[in-house]
Structure 1
Amino acid sequence: MVGKPEDIELVIVTGLSGAGKTQAVWSLEDLGFFCVDNLPPTFIPKFAELCLQSQGKINRVALVIDIRGGEFFSALFEALAQLDKQNFKYQILFLDASDQCLVRRFKESRRRHPLSEEGAVLDGITEERHRLEELKGRADKIIDTTDMTVGIFKKQIKEIFQEKNKKKQLSVNIVSFGFKYGVPIDADLLVDVRFLPNPFYIDELRLLTGTHEAVQQYVLDSPGAIEFLEKYKDLVLFLLPNYIIEGKTSIVIAVGCTGGQHRSVTLACKLGQIIEAEGYSVNLRHRDAARNVALLERKK
């Protein structure tokens, strides 16, 4: 099934060399854009058509088009005219910075400006400004990155291109684990639920996991379990919006008990339901539950 041109969100990222196009692409990737760097402009219409044939899998696209394209760059306006004829909607994001800032960035990175073969960085910047003048005039959005930190720049990109129909732009990964197998190294928040009674000591529950209703009922009926969930819910729901403000796109919450089979799985499941109900995207994984059950079965 072929989509419609209006279903494709297309962003042309361009601007001066050293003004932050690479950082812009990384930020757009975090927002779900399919990004292509240094695509020859003559390929843009064909690439847009290929996106239509992806059956909705590629509907947010960012293309970096700049002076590195050499002689191909002059074909950009013709390519944009073809997009207009095909009813594709696109935005042009132009990144700028002061000459002094760009010279400093090139010196710090020790990279050669693409238009200064003999190493005169300022001459290359001056020539590039001249060549990009018309394109800058057609830009839908111009960002001057001269005095911006990376964090502020990322925040501005997100404010411009974040999907309006998504309530939360943060992926919450919840992983249950057993302390005896080690703490997940990628954990942002760590929860120890070994204070709760252990179903391991109940014969009929020993070989089950926290995904079973009987185990969940035993754990959640124990003193302090529901109170803990309520208190931790308040903490997490306070933290998540603040992580978004700081530019995080994903977070890992690790919930641990001794073997990662009963208590941690139960609390991870319930915590996932709470966070998902608030509109966040939740990925739930039980790292050690199956491994611990297999170990117990071997010891029988």
Structure 2
Amino acid sequence: MNFVIVTGLSGAGKSQTVRFLEDFGYFCIDNLPPSLIPKFAEICSQTQGKIEKVAIVIDIRGREFFNDLFKSLKMLQNMGYNYEILFLEAKDEVLVKRYKETRRNHPLAHDGNIFEAITRERNKLSEVRNQAKHIVDTTDLLPRQLREELEKIFVEGETFESLVITVSSFGFKYGIPIDADIVFDVRFLPNPYYIEELKRFSGLEDNIRDYVLQWPEANEFLNKINEMLEFLIPHYIKEGKSRLVIAIGCTGGRHRSVVLASEIFNSLKKNGHTVLITHRDIGKDVSGEIKR
């Protein structure tokens, strides 16, 4: 089990870092009292390998508890666990600007003077900075660039894709999914609903799949969509996007959209992407008139 201790100056990007580490598969805890680290390690060891990577944010918000950090890390090491310290920092003027933009109070700015609070914090954290394995200056980093830096440190050599893709079929008559990033309309294809012996089945069944995919335009559509997605996905990952929802819609969300969503899901999975699938409206009532 590997532990990452995330620490550093207030306003340097620890919250953003934790979100990225969660995307990388880390179990993250914010502001854990250092004295509880050994006990928490014991709890993690009881998960039978389900928790292998842990990131713990520890900083001066812990007040007097922060002083227990090195003692707890020594105990962690004696228990046979590896750990590394990630220290985040930035220039004073940038930290002040960030605090003013968020209108939050610095943990040590009891008198309202942020510059003096930052100086006190730097002094208090100097020892832990000296022992840090990784020091990241976020002064000039955009969120995407910070993610790239963290990937270099914590994902190097791993087979990992940070983007989780959900392919969802739906029916336009019930509304477009509000969380959709990309929406495709497949109502241009012939509708099995109008074939009496097919209308009661769904796109999960072979007879509907065979009917939908018999049309050349359906296969041409799939080829173009898959080609476009393979172009887009690396760029979404580069920009730091962690979740992508692709919505495929037909009239009722039971036949055509289900078939094509399933085909797109299978293609993405075959190409090694992290992908999920949902069929939002497949169980809706199929009685009544449905227009093309």
1:290 aligns with 2:287: no
Q: Which string of whole-angstrom CA distances, capped at 9 and with x for unpartnered residues, describes residues 207-254 of structure 1?
A: 000110011011101131111111111001111111111111110110
Aligned equivalents of 1:168 and 1:14: distance in 2? Answer: 25
Please give the alpha-carbon distance, in whole angstroms, between the structure 2 residues aligned to 1:168 and 1:125: 36
User: Is the 2:171–2:253 Cα contact (8 Å) retained in structure 1?
Assistant: yes
Structure 2 residue 95 is matched with structure 1 residue 110:
no
The separation in 1 between residues aligned to 2:239 and 2:143, in whole angstroms, is: 11
Correspondence for 2:30: 37
1:52 shift after superposition: 0.7
2:241 aligned to 234, 238, 248, which one? Answer: 248
One-letter amino acid of the structure 2 residue matched with residue 222 of structure 1: W
* 1:77 to partner: Cα distance: 0.6
Is it true that 1:151 corresponds to 2:152 in the alignment?
Answer: no
* TM-score, normalization by structure 2: 0.94
Letter in 1 for 2:247: A
1:163 is displaced (CA, Å) by: 7.0
Cα deviation for residue 99 of structure 1 reads: 1.5
Asked whether the 8 Å contact 2:3–2:84 carries over to 1, the reply is yes
Gap runs ≥5 in structure 1: 1-7
Q: Who is 1:182 aligned against? A: 175
1:211 aligns with 2:179: no
Q: Please identify, of 123-132 and 158-167, the stretch whose mean Cα deviation from structure 2 is larger.
A: 158-167
Q: What are the equivalent positions in structure 2 for 1:211-250 lying under 5 Å apart?
A: 211-250=204-243
CA distance in 2, matches of 1:106, 1:168: 33
- Do the aligned partners of 1:96 and 1:143 also contact (CA within 8 Å) in 2? yes
- In the alignment, structure 1 residue 267 sits paired with structure 2 residue 260: yes
Q: Residue 21 of structure 1 aligns with which residue?
A: 14
Shift of 1:59: 2.2
CA contact (8 A) 2:171 2:249 kept: yes
Q: CA deviation at 1:100?
A: 1.7
AA aligned to 2:227 is D
- CA separation of 1:147/1:46 partners in 2, compared to 1, >3 Å: closer, same or farther? same
- The answer as to whether partners of 1:176 and 1:260 remain within 8 angstroms in 2 is yes
Cα distance, 1:110–1:193 mapped onto 2, change above 3 Å: closer
Give the distance between the partners of 2:105 and 2:164, measured in 1 at CA: 38
Mean Cα deviation higher: 51-60 or 259-268: 51-60
Structure 2 spans left out of the alignment, 5+ residues: none
How many residue pairs match? The answer is 289
Aligned-residue CA RMSD (Å)? 1.6
Amino acid at match of 2:68: A
Query: How far apart are the structure 2 equivalents of 1:214 and 1:108?
Result: 58
Match of 2:64 among 71, 81, 84: 71
Are the equivalent residues in 2 in contact too, given 1:167–1:280 (CA < 8 A)? Answer: no
CA contact (8 A) 2:23 2:162 kept: no
Contact 1:261 1:292 survives alignment (8 Å): no
Q: 1:163 to 1:148 in 2, by over 3 A?
A: closer
Structure 1 residues 292 and 21, CA gap change in structure 2 (3 angstroms): same
Q: What amino acid maps onto 1:173 in structure 2?
A: T
Q: Deviations over 1:49-81 (max 9, x none)?
A: 111112233222111111111111111111111
CA distance in 2, matches of 1:196, 1:226: 11
Secondary structure of the 1:204 match is coil
Q: Is the 8 A contact 1:33 1:61 kept in 2?
A: yes
Secondary structure of the 2:207 match is helix
Please tell me whether the aligned partners of residues 91 and 139 of structure 2 are also in contact (alpha carbons under 8 angstroms). Answer: yes
Question: Which structure has greater helix proportion?
Answer: 1
Cα-to-partner distance string for 1:241-280 (whole Å, 9 max, x where unaligned): 1111111111011011111111111101111100000101
Compute the displacement of 1:31 (Å).
2.2
Q: Percent identity?
A: 51
